[in-house]
Amino acid sequence: MKLRPIHFIGIGILVVGIIAVIVLQVTGLGRNDGTSNGNLTEVTGVVGSEKKAFFEDPAVQEVFAEHGYEVNVTTSGSWHMASLDGLTENDFAFPASEIAAEHIESTHPDAVLSTHKPFFSPLAIATFEPVMELLEQNGAATQDANGAWQVDMAAYLDLVESDTRWNQLEGADDLYNSPRSVMITSTDIRTSNSAGMYLALAAYVLNGESVLTSQSQAAPYLGTLTQLFVAQGYAGASSAAPFEDYLSQGIGAVPMVFVYEGQFLEEQVRDGSRIQDGMVLAYPSPTIFSVHTGVTFSDAGQDVMQLLETDPELASLLAAHGFRPTGQNSNAFADFTEQEQISEQYPSTSAFVNLAQEPSYEMLDYLLTEIGSAYDVSGAPPATPETDSPEQDSSGQDESP
């Protein structure tokens, strides 16, 4: 067949098309895969560092990239986030509690577009089976039909107030015969959000399971609340520190440590987990939720928060990192624990019916200030609030407030 000019035009178009496909395959142009060639919109945020591992997870970054975003975060203490220089130059701030988010809103009212609560973390107690059995014998703990443990916080606080030693409890000889005071290890109250949540919980219980609303109402409880923290001696600035001691030093050094539920879960499902037989997760009764609350300063920040609220892939990844998604993907956590065959150890969200309420920012700040001054009198070293920059090593875990 004799080729005519139109045939040459067609062949030329076909060749150009083939070359274009090859170029796209080789260079990656046009792909939204999170690389520098992806033409992604960069979104920056300041987060409590308990969430840093989630945002830096390659699987999480890939999902954001599929939606056109490259999300980069730095960390700051939740409690001090509102006063961070240049905070509102970011697209969002993401502290670990509602109180801290409300403080950001009130400090920067003209910059805030919206707030979001895409997930939460129950506070829990990493402990050991013999410790729980001993507390159970002495009326301070119970175990449900699935084997999950609860610590009666009112009974526990009575033991703290009377400076009870473990070896003074009935049955200690056979279970945990330690001369140390009955005490939950926590982080430094001056720098840690999880310690702040522990304080809010204890204040609520001491006040007859009612929220403290005034300084005069709080006055009778300041002694016990101060003892909970100052009597611990040295306390780490981040929740990673005492949990690491729990994992590495065992029952002799850290019989009970206040943690985020997700810390225990993440370690439990990790390859090479250090969770050993006899290590258990207990829940305080009442318990308290750390509601991670995002505060947005731009449209892009709002988009990222809405993805966290709605995207099913992100919900599954949140569950894998130990967070409980809310809203339309609230079943993701239960699905994950069932998949990992550990669902009996982690109560459903609906099972938490006795929840402590947090006081106002002003009330909690007053308590923190009063207890912080007791640290100064005790000769404790100065608090070291968390700071971070994009270059900081991502292994530095701190969720200080």
CATH number at residue 315: 3.40.190.10
Do residues 126 and 229 both lie within one domain? yes
Give the position of tokens 């973390």.
121
For residue 389, is pLDDT > 90? no
- Whether 182 and 156 have beta carbons less than 8 Å apart is answered as yes
The answer to whether position 175 is within a domain reads yes
pLDDT in the model for residue 235: 54
DSSP per-residue codes, 137-198: HTTSEEE-TTS-EEEEHHHHHHHHHTT-BGGGSTTHHHH----SB---B---TTT-HHHHHH
Q: Which of 235-244, 298-307, 322-331, 376-385 is the least confident region?
A: 376-385
Do 278 and 298 fall into the same domain? no
The answer to whether the CB of 142 falls within 8 A of the CB of 153 is no
Do both 196 and 111 map to the same domain? Answer: no
Shared domain check, 370 and 258: yes
What are 115's strand-pairing partners?
Answer: 295
**Looking up tokens 């995207």, which residue turns up?**
311
Q: How confident is the model at residue 36 (pLDDT cuts 50, 70, 90)?
A: very low
Kindly state whether residue 394 falls inside one of the protein's structural domains: no
For residue range 59-93, list pLDDT tens digits in order: 999 999 999 999 999 988 787 789 899 999 999 99
Domain match, 260 and 307 both: no
Answer whether residue 100 is part of any domain: yes
Specify if 391 maps to a domain. no
- Final residue in a domain of this structure, among 305, 326, 348: 348
pTM: 0.80
Residue 390 located in a structural domain = no
Sole residue written with tokens 């006063």: 83
Residue 348 identity (one-letter amino acid): S
For residues 51 and 60, what is the distance between their CA atoms, to the nearest angstrom? 12
- Residue 140 CB neighbours (<10 A): 22
Q: In the block, which residue shows the tokens 């410790």?
A: 131
Residues 167 and 204 in one domain: yes
Q: Among 162, 169, 163, 160, which residue's Cα sits nearest to residue 138? A: 169
Q: Report the alpha-carbon distance of residue 84 to residue 68 in Å, rounded.
A: 28
Q: What is the pLDDT of residue 12?
A: 53
pLDDT at 230: 87
Q: Does one domain contain both 158 and 279?
A: yes
Residues 126, 252: one domain? Answer: yes
Range of the domain at 15: 1-30
pLDDT at 15: 47
pLDDT greater than 60 at residue 30:
no
Confidence of residue 38 (pLDDT cuts 50, 70, 90): low
In the chain, the number of structural domains is 3
88 and 12 part of one domain: no
Q: 137 Cβ partners below 8 Å, 6+ apart?
A: 169, 170, 171, 175
- With a cut of 80, say whether residue 138 has pLDDT above it: yes
pLDDT at residue 395, rounded to an integer: 33
Please give the Cα distance from 93 to 87 (Å, whole number).
7
**Which amino acid is located at 386 in the chain?**
E
pLDDT tens per residue, range 86-134: 999 999 999 998 988 999 999 999 999 999 999 999 999 999 999 999 9
Mean pLDDT computed over 162-180 = 96
Asked if residue 322 belongs to a domain, the reply is: yes
- Say which DSSP state 388 is in: -
Q: Evaluate the CA torsion angle 250, 253, 256, 258 in order and state its sign.
A: negative
Q: Are residues 214 and 150 in the same domain?
A: yes
Residues 237-272: tens digit of each pLDDT? 455 678 888 999 999 999 999 999 999 998 999 888
Residue pair 170/160 in contact by the 8 Å Cβ criterion: no
| 94 and 155 part of one domain | no
In a domain, 308, yes or no: yes
Domain-embedded: residue 339 = yes
* Separation CA 350–CA 138 (nearest Å): 28
The answer, yes or no, to whether residue 356 has pLDDT greater than 90, is yes
What is the DSSP code (8-state) at residue 400?
Answer: -
Let me know whether 247 and 107 are in one domain. no
